[in-house]
Amino acid sequence: MKKLFGACLILLFFCCTTDLFAQTSGDDILKKLKEIAIIEQKVMMPMRDGIRLCTDIYRPKGDKKVPVILSRTPYNFNTWGDGEEKINSYRSAYDAVSRGYAYVVQNERGRFFSEGEWDILGTPLTDGADAFTWMVAQPWCNGKIGTLGCSSTAEWQMAVASLDHPAHAAMVAQGYGAGVGKVGKYVEQGNWYRGGAQQMLFTSWLYGTQNDAFRPSFPKDASQEDLNRVQRWFDLAPEMPRVDWGKAFTHLPVQDIIKNVNGSKGVYEKMIRRKPEDPDWYKGGLYHDNMPFGVPTYWFVSWYDVSTSPNLELFNHVRKNAKDPDVADKQYLVIAPTLHCAFKRASEQTVVGERNMGDARLDYDALVYGWFDLLLKGEQNGFTQKTPRVQYFTMGANKWQKSETWPPAGITMMPFYLNSAGRANSMYGDGTLISGAAPKTDAPDQFTYDPQYPVPSLGGNFCCMGNAVTPGAFDQRPIEVRNDVLVYTSEPLKEGMEVTGFVESTLYVSSDVKDTDFTIKLIDVGPDGKAFNVDETIQRARFREGYNKEVMMEKGKVYKIDLTPMATSIYFPAGHRVRIEISSSNFPRFERNLNTGGNNYDESQGVVAHNKIHHSAQYPSQIRLPIKK
């Protein structure tokens, strides 16, 4: 696939395969695959409305009925291409077939050889059910289907699980945030929002992924024979010109960013206009917490991914609310200290950004196929007895831990209150974090937020932003010298402290504009002064009372804002300090608020905001850390 974000497909397959053929070519792997598999490519699987989805099927030779592992994706899996996409497609197939499974990979409707119109997060749920029904009717299927994938190849699974199709017996969902709409406190609508502010990763991702209205396509009556013949020459994969996203993201209005780089005309222009509770978010393939859930699932989450907190909230939601007790009991979770879909890239010295996490490896193949062997083959392999319900990596201590719940039992929420004499601006200011009680008097900290000069993102918890920002943990001191960043730091810890769970924060704020944003970062400061970012969040003030209404601010009035919770597991050794940064921008990680109270997406001019953070007994601004004893 010759496009900017083809790497997403590489990561997808890398997460799901072994390293058996790490140094071999696609043709060598195909030769080995042909020895054990029956291969059917470009099978056009019919949906109930007549649309056909392009499907490749790899199944063991012989007459034995076998379970199916289905990987459904918007990405290009044409095996006549060049490079890693071809190799990894065959690896995944070999990995499954050699273990006694049929491996089925299918394009979403409207993608590449599949017919119909593609709409990210809007694919009909019936496509999943129709695919299951078609497969179980085949003479080689034993009636059990498991779904597998990372990122966009995982994110359709949750909503389809709400249908509780009798053949859908197991899921493995990895890095699946864009499949989650509303769950608990989180209204991210498929990662589009955080706290009501747009997460700009989708702008760059859709540039390389969305279909253009004038894209070429094959005739709807094209036969499997014809498609197999022409796939050698045409795979419908556009070669997108490279974009300097560090520059492209700065364009205003944001609704024209893709247009400004001569990108395709697609769903972006429609989605950028949606508000957080727009009814269209509830019409497509997103999973919301008012939907049932009927499938045992193994969830894989990363600390430095775009949607860690809502991912964890969904795990808890399913365990609590699944109507079938067996389904509720068969929910397992892994949380790794990695970037998006980079689970199997962990090594003896796993470096994420600039921070060394130590040995973060797990045997992911054993975990995934142990899960499938139990639920798709019925093997009594002791999976539930020997596998921890939750395996999570604690950064700082650099070790794997296990628990029956998330967060683990015995967590105590400890508040750290913001304090200063009104001069917390930058790391050279007087901002402190104090425990015990809030300061008695209010000495608010003020900073100026100019949308034309936003605080730049440095590392962070996200993916897919091209060359604009590199995700991960980075020393934040270059950011903390700015006067529009408030810095609050604790005293050096006398004893080590493990923070594991959801991190909550409450700010008391005022401004001289109708609407603005408030950002927060949790920072681990070492004795050498290095300040590594742990997690981050944002809240758009107009949505402080809920995402179904917009309430503008009045000049000078103090408002309480509860930011969307962060999540982590990190150990602060003795001598380290806890720090938080507060500002009104983290760009281009999040879209800039132009402070006008208008639509924001169609505006080119902003106004300067003078924002205040209040901290006192009356206004106890604070961060609440989940402390594990």
Q: What is the DSSP string of 581-599?
A: EEES--BTTBPPP-SSSS-
Query: Shortest CA distance to 507 belongs to which of 588, 624, 587?
Result: 624
Is residue 1 one of the residues assigned to a domain?
A: no
User: Is residue 134 over pLDDT 60?
Assistant: yes
Question: Could you tell me the pLDDT band of residue 87, with boundaries at 50, 70 and 90?
Answer: confident
The CATH number covering residue 509 comes to 2.60.120.260
In tens, the pLDDT along 444-470 reads 999 999 999 999 999 999 999 999 999
Q: Look up residue 107 and give its amino acid.
A: N
- State whether 394 and 437 are in the same domain: no
Segment among 211-225, 372-386, 471-485 with least mean pLDDT = 211-225
Question: Could you tell me the pLDDT band of residue 84, with boundaries at 50, 70 and 90?
Answer: low
**Euclidean distance between CA atoms 464 and 578, whole angstroms:** 29
Segment among 24-38, 235-249, 361-375 with least mean pLDDT = 24-38
- State whether 616 and 551 are in the same domain: yes
Q: What is the pLDDT of residue 235?
A: 85
Q: What is the pLDDT of residue 18?
A: 40
Segment among 14-23, 48-57, 422-431 with least mean pLDDT = 14-23
- State whether 381 and 417 are in the same domain: no
For residues 137-145, give the mean pLDDT: 98
User: Of 212 and 304, which is predicted with more confidence?
Assistant: 304
- Domain boundary (387, 403, 419) is at 403
User: Is residue 346 over pLDDT 80?
Assistant: yes
Residues 6+ apart with CB under 8 A from 22: none
Is residue 595 one of the residues assigned to a domain?
A: yes
User: Is residue 239 over pLDDT 80?
Assistant: yes
For residues 299-309, give the mean pLDDT: 97
- State whether 249 and 364 are in the same domain: yes
Mean pLDDT score of the chain: 93
Q: What is the pLDDT of residue 81?
A: 63
Q: Considering the entire predicted model, what is its pTM?
A: 0.94
- Domain boundary (363, 383, 403) is at 403
- State whether 66 and 208 are in the same domain: yes
**Euclidean distance between CA atoms 98 and 102, whole angstroms:** 9
CA distances from 622 to 136, 295, 502 (A): 54, 39, 14
Q: What is the pLDDT of residue 24?
A: 59
Is residue 221 one of the residues assigned to a domain?
A: yes
- State whether 392 and 438 are in the same domain: no
User: Of 577 and 18, which is predicted with more confidence?
Assistant: 577
Residue range of the domain that includes 208: 6-403
Cα torsion at 571, 574, 575, 581 (round to 10°)?
Answer: 30
- State whether 431 and 399 are in the same domain: no
User: Is residue 25 over pLDDT 70?
Assistant: no
Q: What is the pLDDT of residue 341?
A: 94
Q: What is the pLDDT of residue 119?
A: 87
User: Is residue 157 over pLDDT 70?
Assistant: yes
Question: What's 282-334 look like in SS3?
Answer: HCCCCECCCCCCCCCEEEEEEEECCCHHHHHHHHHHHHHHCCCHHHHHCEEEE
Using DSSP, how many helices (H) and how many strands (E) does the chain show? Answer: 15, 28
Q: What is the pLDDT of residue 419?
A: 97
- Domain boundary (403, 419, 441) is at 403
- State whether 120 and 95 are in the same domain: yes
For residues 104-109, give the mean pLDDT: 95
Q: What is the pLDDT of residue 82?
A: 58
By CB neighbour count within 10 A (0-12 exposed, 13-18 middle, 19+ buried), where does 232 fall? Answer: exposed
Q: What is the pLDDT of residue 470?
A: 97
Segment among 38-42, 422-426, 440-444 with least mean pLDDT = 440-444
- State whether 180 and 261 are in the same domain: yes
Here the tokens at position 619 are: 């206004």
- State whether 512 and 614 are in the same domain: yes
In tens, the pLDDT along 566-575 reads 999 999 999 9
Q: What is the pLDDT of residue 77?
A: 86
Total Cβ atoms within 10 A of residue 554 = 12
User: Of 81 and 167, which is predicted with more confidence?
Assistant: 167
CA distances from 9 to 3, 87, 152, 471, 524 (A): 11, 11, 9, 18, 33
Q: What is the pLDDT of residue 452?
A: 97
In tens, the pLDDT along 369-394 reads 999 999 999 999 999 999 999 999 99
Contact 141/164 with Cβ under 8 angstroms?
A: no
The CATH number covering residue 138 comes to 3.40.50.1820
Q: Cα-atom radius of gyration of the chain, to the nearest Å?
A: 25
**Euclidean distance between CA atoms 240 and 257, whole angstroms:** 15
- State whether 389 and 426 are in the same domain: no
For residues 134-151, give the mean pLDDT: 97
CA distances from 276 to 188, 245, 302, 395, 546 (A): 7, 25, 25, 33, 10
Give the chain's domain count.
Answer: 2
Q: What is the pLDDT of residue 234?
A: 87
